[in-house]
Structure 1
């Protein structure tokens, strides 16, 4: 009985996502935006979410405000990480 039960002459090649894939396949794609553009975008998004959260608090909608504060904090943390000030 052959080692390959499917009857192929050679074993199938590994999938791109397989754990034994070469390190070159596992490299991340480069961003199309510059680092300074990504930092500015994260700052802008963080600021907008925090402003929206403050408005929600003023309207008395604390649940929505908490969600918006979390989103704002995420973007500001990302901005700091991109600057090299984060964890």
Structure 2
């Protein structure tokens, strides 16, 4: 358990950040799942729309430190390739 005032404050801050990051990660996963579902249904227009909505959410996660930059780039690249293939 935290003993010093500084370590007690860090524990409080960590708990708060954990909840915020958890919510943000959940939001990102929801957007990615919507793209996956649109791809699975075969609806190219819905997949394109979902991808456009997911991209800023994923990049916001990178800015906030929830997702690594290369992970986000890899996910966007793979999803956009699948959406592109769906449209052809």
Structure number with greater Rg is 1
TM-score (ref. length: structure 1): 0.48
Compare the two structures and name the one with the higher helix fraction.
Answer: 2
